[in-house]
Amino acid sequence: MKRRLRSVSPLKLGITLGVIYGVLSLIVAVPLFLVFSLIGAASATKGGGPAFPALFSGVFIIFLPFVYAVIGFIAGVIMAFIYNLVAKWTGGVEFTTEEVS
């Protein structure tokens, strides 16, 4: 059975992508936090350098998910708006579905 996607709700797509981007940033932020923490610990033991890497990693892991979520929301709204404009000219994306038991 063929179906056609004629429009996308910008707000719903923005919220959905915002959550997806936020979750993905956690997947990225945790390993980076560990790397920056190790760099900070290594620099502190080698000569008592500034604690910038450790401080940066703490701030990084707190704010990165929020920044990604906002970027995802804005990108989702823009993409839905553009898709809706293009779908008026092209008829939208066509896809096939099937019954699953």
DSSP state of 78: H
Bridge partner residues of 4 (DSSP): 94
| Residue 6: per-residue pLDDT | 87
SS3 36: helix
Q: What is the pLDDT of residue 83?
A: 93
Q: What is the mean pLDDT of each run of 10 residues along the chain (101 residues)?
A: 87 92 84 74 60 62 85 94 92 84 76
**What per-residue confidence (pLDDT) applies to 76?**
94
Q: What is the largest CA-CA distance in the chain?
A: 68
- The CA-based dihedral angle spanning residues 81, 83, 88, 90, taken in that order and rounded to the nearest 10 degrees: 160
Extended strands (E) in the chain: 2-5, 93-96
